[in-house]
Amino acid sequence: MSFGFDLATLFASPESVLIKVVLPPFFYGAHGWVATWCAVKMLFHPYNTWYFPGTKISVPLTPGIFPKRQAKLSQAVATTITETLLTPKDIKARAEELVTEGNIYNAIDLFFDRVLMIEFRDTTKLHRLAQDLAQISPTILQAFVASTIDSLEQGKDSKIPAIVDKVFDQIVLSARINLDQATELASRIMENIVTPEKIRNALVTLLSPQNIAALEESVNVHASGPYRLLAKLIGIKRVCYEWRNFLEKEPEEAQKIINDLITRFGIKHQIAIQIANFDLRSMPLDNIAKLKLNVNNFVRQFMIEHKEDLLEACRRLQDEAMMTVQSAILRFNPESVPENFLVNLKRNLAGFTYSYLKRELGQLIEQAIPAMGVHGLIASKIDLFSPQQLESLVYKICKTELKALEYFGLIIGAILGLMQILVNAITY
């Protein structure tokens, strides 16, 4: 057997050249391209299951590979993303890079600018906000009062004592009453406390037999000789009894005398002078501390004992509270807020938020990722894709590669055609 070949015999005629040299690479290349094209198309087509006519028997390889395995594909993609590409560790690391005090300050700055400069200028939104906040303000007020009083009862609240201390130190301690105010206060005292009737009753109670006897005994023991002699000559015990009988038997006359003496002695003016000249800061420090403690105890005890009254007052003030909150929001002018105050507020909020996130960020992310259901969200999104959308998505990602695959099939077919020519030439 000879493995040589005769080129003259092989290319004896033009028809022979066409059949033996040109057609094999062409047909093999076309076969390779069509086969590869069909394989690529069968990844997605047909979109639905085909059945043999008149039967319920499905045609093999229908629907396409991706539509048929879309559920498993979605789970696989979601698992790959959540376990490899987007792990909690990666999210935490990225979040820690982004969570800086500067970034938080910028976010808060943008938020404040958005709210104060844009949202508060929208009249419709502002009225809606005012109405919503006004409606919940009575509930917030009642809840605040109730929780504060409960904390006072348990001895856990420190806000009220702190507020009372500040009010006492900054207002009460430094407060002074002018003479006109002192005179008005003295008038109220004279009208309600130091009245002739009450003075008369107090004198009657004071001049009891026991007190008169005690007065006589005290004079005899402590008074010097001349004064003791004068007291005996006057008969101080007898005078006290006579004065007591007069106060009891002649109340109207006694009250006129007392009223005349109050006017002549200028008692109201003296009280007003004492009130106007009174300064808490002139008291000893121990007395001031005790007074502050007594005020604190009074406020605490008053709030505990009158809890229901305070809550009822909050309920009665519901309409007034709503109107006050609504009016305050509607009248609020963002431009009236001092710039320094806003800068300090933003900086404080940024510092507080940063310290909190720095401490709790890892735990928050660990709790948030399962709660967000990232795996299920990705899987459900992919599962909801239609076959056309899935095909379009894959083609957007791999269009060049899929085309290259078709051309590769064409090239492989052409190479096989050339190899066929070579084999034919060898065998002849």
pLDDT at 9 over 60: no
If asked whether residues 195 and 266 sit together in one domain, one would say: yes
In angstroms, what CA-CA distances link 70 with 40, 83, 85, 214, 387? 16, 20, 20, 109, 9
CA separation for the pair 152, 303 (Å, rounded): 8
pLDDT at 192 over 70: yes
Q: Is residue 105 part of a domain?
A: no
> Which amino acid is residue 346, in one-letter code?
K
Residue 51 phi, psi (nearest 5): -125, 150
Q: Is residue 379 part of a domain?
A: no
pLDDT on residue 21: 62
Mean pLDDT of 168-172: 79
Which tens digit of pLDDT belongs to each residue from 36-82? 777 777 777 777 777 778 777 777 767 776 777 777 777 777 777 77
Residue that is last in its domain, among 298, 324, 350: 324
Is the distance from CB of 138 to CB of 321 less than 8 angstroms?
yes
Show the tokens assigned to 133.
Answer: 């906040």
Instruction: Map tokens 């006359």 to a residue.
Output: 253
Instruction: Map tokens 């109201």 to a residue.
Output: 268
Q: Is residue 315 part of a domain?
A: yes
Which one has a higher pLDDT value, 324 or 20?
Answer: 324
Written in H, E and C, the secondary structure of 243-258 is HHHHHHHCHHHHHHHH
pLDDT on residue 120: 63
Instruction: Quote the number of domains for the chain.
Output: 2
Q: Is residue 262 part of a domain?
A: yes
Q: Is residue 284 part of a domain?
A: yes
Q: What angle do CA 181, 187, 193 make, to 5 degrees?
A: 125
pLDDT at 3 over 50: no
If asked whether residues 226 and 313 sit together in one domain, one would say: yes
Average pLDDT, the chain: 77
If asked whether residues 213 and 296 sit together in one domain, one would say: yes
pLDDT at 303 over 60: yes
pLDDT at 350 over 50: yes
Which tens digit of pLDDT belongs to each residue from 77-136? 777 777 776 677 777 777 777 777 788 888 888 877 776 666 666 667 667 767 777 777
pLDDT on residue 337: 67
In angstroms, what CA-CA distances link 77 with 208, 392, 402? 102, 17, 20
Q: Is residue 118 part of a domain?
A: no
pLDDT on residue 5: 45
If asked whether residues 202 and 55 sit together in one domain, one would say: no
Which percentage of the chain shows pLDDT scores above 70?
Answer: 83
pLDDT on residue 31: 74
Show the tokens assigned to 173.
Answer: 């301690």
Q: Is residue 299 part of a domain?
A: yes
Mean pLDDT of 192-204: 89
* pTM over 0.85, yes/no: no
Residue that is last in its domain, among 284, 299, 324: 324
In angstroms, what CA-CA distances link 101 with 110, 245, 349, 357? 14, 85, 10, 10
If asked whether residues 307 and 405 sit together in one domain, one would say: no
If asked whether residues 185 and 291 sit together in one domain, one would say: yes
If asked whether residues 317 and 401 sit together in one domain, one would say: no
pLDDT on residue 1: 41
pLDDT at 418 over 50: yes
Q: What does 129-147 look like in DSSP terms, one character per residue? A: HHHHHHHHHHHHHHHHHHH
If asked whether residues 315 and 391 sit together in one domain, one would say: no
Residue range(s) defining the domain that contains residue 272: 159-324
Residue that is last in its domain, among 324, 342, 369: 324
- The confidence band for 137, taking pLDDT boundaries of 50, 70 and 90, is confident
What residues have CB less than 8 Å from 309, skipping those under 6 apart? none
If asked whether residues 313 and 399 sit together in one domain, one would say: no
Exposed / middle / buried, residue 24 (Cβ in 10 Å: 0-12, 13-18, 19+): buried
Which tens digit of pLDDT belongs to each residue from 266-282? 888 998 998 888 887 78
Is the distance from CB of 353 to CB of 104 less than 8 angstroms?
yes
Long-range pairs of 203-208 with CB within 8 A, sequence gap ≥ 24: 203/243, 203/244, 203/247, 204/244, 204/247, 204/248, 207/240, 207/241, 207/243, 207/244, 207/247
Instruction: Map tokens 């069509």 to a residue.
Output: 34
From first CA to last CA, the distance across the chain in angstroms is 11
If asked whether residues 395 and 314 sit together in one domain, one would say: no
CA separation for the pair 152, 150 (Å, rounded): 5
Q: Is residue 22 part of a domain?
A: yes
If asked whether residues 209 and 318 sit together in one domain, one would say: yes
